[in-house]
Amino acid sequence: MNLLNETHDPALRSWVTSANAPGCDFPVQNLPFGRFRTAPAEPWRIGVAIGDEVLDLRAAGLLDHAAMAQVLTLPQAERSALRLALSRGLRAGSRLQAPWSTCLHAQTRVELGLPCDVGDYTDFYVGIHHATAVGKLFRPDNPLLPNYKWVPIGYHGRSSTLIPSGTPFVRPRSQVKAVDAEVPTLQPSARLDFELELGIVVGPGNAAGEPVAMAQAEDHVFGLTLFNDWSARDVQAWEYQPLGPFLSKNFASTVSPWIVTMEALAPYRQAFTRPEGDPQPLPYLHSEDNAQAGAFGIELEVWLQTAAMRASGHAGECISRSNFAEAAYWTVAQLVAHHTVNGCTLRPGDLFGSGTLSGPRPEQAGSLLELTQGGKAPIRMANGETRTFLEDGDEVTLKGVCRRPGAASIGFGSCSGKVLPALSS
C-alpha cells in the first residue's frame, strides 16, 4: 500500500502556473505518466502532465531511455524516487525551473497517444450495479449469476483495437438477428453503446506459473486510466452464448492518455467492504490491507456531445455520474491476484478494464443500455434531442477526479471518442 508523503502535501504549488489553477486535473500532487510526440514521424517520448503542459522526462535528465516499458517495470522504491524527484523539481522555488522550463510542451501542441504499448487486454465485470441492472433486463428474477459474488468475472479482448483518446472510430458491422427473424443478417450495429470504465495498467510482471499474492498485488500495478469499452449491443445479444463477447467488443476501445499512478491515488483510498450478508472473498482474494484501504474514491462522469450540439457550439451534456468505490465489487488488488492464481503471466503494459462502473441509482448508469432500460426509455437532452443508443457523429467523453478534505484535487484528464458512419459494404 502506498503511504502519504511529502509529494501529497496539499499546500504544494508549482512554478508551472497552470498547475495551480482551481480545478486543474494535473497539479503538482498528481504527476501522471503518458507518451507524446511533436510530429507524426518522430518516436514517442515519455512525459508527465503538469498543468496544461507535458514535461519531457528524457530531456529533463530523469530517464536515459525512451521506452515506457522500462518505466513500468521499475520496482516500487524506484517509482517513488522518480515521483519525488519530479515533485521537487516542479515545485515553486525549485532550482530546476530554468533548465526544466525548456523541456515543457503545451499539451494542445503535441500528439498524445496510448500511454504505453499494450500487449494483452482483459476486461473485467466489477460493477455490481451494472451487472444487476443488465441482469434484470434479461433475467428479472435472477439478475446476478451464482458465481458473481465469488469470482471476478472477465474475458480476454484484443489489444490491437485499443485506440487513444480523440481518435474517431467506424460504426461496426457484424451478424445481428432480430427476435422475430428466422436468420441473421450482416449489418451495421443499430445499438451502439459506451461503457464507463477505468483501465488498470500493469507494471512489473510475474514469472510464468507463479501466482501474485494479495500482499504483493498492487506492486504489480503502475496506475489507473480512463477507459471506454465501446459495445455493439445487438451484435452482443446474438453472439455471446456460449463463449461471451467477440465482435461486439473488439472493434474499438478508447484509452485516455495519462496513467495516474498508484502513489498519486494514495490520499483517496477507502475501506473495502461487502454488503452485510454477502459472502466474504476466498482467502487468496483477502488481505487486511485490502479490507482497510483497497478501494479508491474516484468520481466519474460521462458527457455526450451530439453532432447538432457541436454545430451550435454546445460543449455537450453530462448524462451520468458515479464513483469507483461505490460501483466496484472487486478491488484492483483482487483482480491481479485472481488473474494470476492459475499461473497466468502478466507483462508490463498489460491492461485490465474494470467493467462498467454504474452507481446504485438509475441516473448513475455507466451505459446507454442501462440509462434507457434496453432502449425502451430514451434519454432527453436539454436541446430536445433524444437517444436510446449512439448515433453517427455522437462524441462521448469520460472524466474522472479524486477529491477529499485535506487533500489536493487531482484528475484523469478526458477520454473521448466520436462515432463515424459504418463503411459501405
- DSSP annotation string for 113-132: --SS--S-EEEE--BHHHHH
> Hey, what's the cell of 174?
457484424
Pair 212, 337: CB distance under 8 Å: yes
361: helix, strand or coil: coil
Q: How far apart are CA 371 and CA 362, in angstroms?
A: 7
Strand-pair partners of 155 = 123
Where along the chain do its domains lie?
6-112, 121-420
CA atoms within 13 A on the CB side of 107: 21
User: What is the band of 270 on the pLDDT scale with cuts at 50, 70, 90?
Assistant: very high
Residue 391: pLDDT over 70: yes
**What order do you get walking across the sheet with 53-56 strand by strand?**
104-106, 53-56, 45-50, 33-37, 111-112
Burial (CB count <10 Å: 0-12, 13-18, 19+), residue 64: exposed
What pLDDT digit, counting tens, does each position of 62-120 carry?
998 878 999 999 999 999 999 999 999 999 999 999 999 999 999 999 999 999 999 99
Distance CA 307, CA 341 (A): 46
Q: CB of 152 within 8 A of CB of 334?
A: yes
Residue 339, all three cell numbers: 488473474
Average per-residue pLDDT for the chain: 96
Please state the rounded mean pLDDT for residues 217-234: 98
Is the pLDDT confidence value at 337 over 70? yes
Whole-model pTM: value is 0.97
Omega of the bond prior to 242 within 30 degrees of 0, cis?
A: yes
The residue with greater pLDDT, 305 or 146, is 305
Q: What is the mean pLDDT of residues 373-380?
A: 96
Query: What's the pLDDT band for 138 if we cut at 50, 70, 90?
Result: confident
pLDDT in tens, 276-308: 999 999 999 999 999 999 999 999 999 999 999
Q: Is pLDDT above 80 for 425?
A: no
Question: Active-site residue 314, yes or no?
Answer: no
Of the pLDDT bands very low, low, confident and very high (cuts 50, 70, 90), residue 141 is: confident
Residue 13: count other Cβ atoms within 10 Å of its Cβ. 15
Class of domain 121-420: alpha beta
Dist CA 225 CA 114 (whole Å): 10
- Provide the percentage of residues in the chain whose pLDDT is more than 70: 100
pLDDT at residue 241 above 90?
no
Half-sphere exposure of 117 (CA within 13 A, CB side): 12
Residue 399's DSSP bridge partners are 301, 414
3.10.129.10, 2.40.50.140, 3.30.365.10, 2.30.30.230: CATH of 6-112? 2.30.30.230
pLDDT at 140 over 90: no
Least confident among 16-30, 239-253, 319-333 = 239-253
**Exactly one of 65, 105, 129, 130 is catalytic; which is it?**
130
Q: Could you tell me which residues are beta bridge partners of residue 320?
A: 302
Beta bridge partners of 111: 37
Residue 93 corresponds to which cell in the numbers above?
A: 522555488
Is residue 1 predicted with pLDDT exceeding 80? no
Say how many Å lie between the first and final Cα of the chain, rounded: 52
**Max CA pair span of the chain:** 73
pLDDT over threshold 80, residue 184: yes
Backbone angles phi, psi at 413, to 5 degrees: 80, -145
Q: Residue 424 pLDDT more than 80?
A: yes
